Structure 1
């Protein structure tokens, strides 16, 4: 359970840092959505740009079975790299945006 608590803290800190990055358009906000009961964490962009509605998920991570499942990663560098830099082993990271078949060919957990 201590491992899961550590993972929660790391995920929340990373996603909070992403939400603090200001968009080039002041009318678009980055919001964090933390479901602490079900261990689901997201960063979404919300707002308006050139009279068009902006809404989209940038990052979506879940913690399941003591592993971090990356459901969506819209970052340039990749959130998995940042998780590793924070000390999370590759065997505790699942690239869930890849099919289960494709995951076996990555250096991360299959799930």
Structure 2
């Protein structure tokens, strides 16, 4: 089993699901909105989706977070979390050198404090 730390028996993929589920459990203060975690069958894509109806009766459906598991690293393809999902992943035990901010260019990623690729 791929473990984050020797004293913690949780895999990075379990940590990803837990972080996203924690966000999904936060209730919306307006409208009839819900969030849910979607994991691809091959466990390579992790989505935090929001859907429902706004206060103006408009349909809401969007991806709040898209994470991708690529070569033993977590690629953040989209991050709509205000404080950034990368920090929550680090707090869950995933080392910053295994997190790639894929929404930044390769040139910019060198300066982020996370993996460049």
The two structures share one fold, judged by TM-score above 0.5: yes
Residue matched to 1:54 = 60
**How many pairs align?**
111
Query: Is residue 34 of structure 2 the alignment partner of residue 29 of structure 1?
Result: yes
Check whether the contact 1:90–1:108 (CA below 8 A) recurs between aligned residues.
yes
After TM superposition, the runs of 4+ consecutive aligned structure 1 residues lying more than 4 A away are none
Stretches of structure 1 that go unaligned for 5 or more consecutive residues are: none
| Correspondence for 2:91 | 85
What does 1:6-45 correspond to in 2, within 5 Å? Answer: 6-45=11-50
Query: Which one has the bigger helix percentage?
Result: 1
**Normalising to structure 1: TM-score of the pair?**
0.90
Shift of 1:3: 3.9
| CA distance, structure 2, for counterparts of residue 38 and residue 82 of structure 1 | 19
Q: Indicate the RMSD between aligned Cα atoms, in angstroms.
A: 1.7
- Structure 2 residues not aligned, in runs of 5+: 5-9
Contact 1:91/1:108 (8 A) holds in 2? yes
Shift of 1:26: 4.6
